[in-house]
Amino acid sequence: MFCEINDILYKFPFTLPSYFTLLLRTVVILEGIALKGDPEYDIYEDVFPHAAKRALGLFGVKNIAKIV
């Protein structure tokens, strides 16, 4: 996932707030640590419920339906 984000950032240069890049770096490091302990670890499986709940709260049901 993060390699794909990196590729996009190189193809379409734009700036991100420093806190966002630090957050991405933190997630990459934590994912690496988790994969060392459990090679079958899937970050999407852990993040999806929280991300879905957050997106629903931010955008609402109608806007989520449009996005999906």
In this structure, are residues 24 and 2 in contact, taking their beta carbons and an 8 Å threshold? Answer: yes
Which residue carries 């490091």 as its tokens? 29
pLDDT for 59: 86
And the tokens for 41?
């670890």
Q: What is the pLDDT of residue 1?
A: 64
Query: Full-prediction pTM beyond 0.75?
Result: no
Block mean pLDDT (10 aa), the chain, length 68:
75 81 90 93 90 88 76
pLDDT score, position 65: 76
Side-chain-side CA neighbours of residue 37 (13 Å): 7
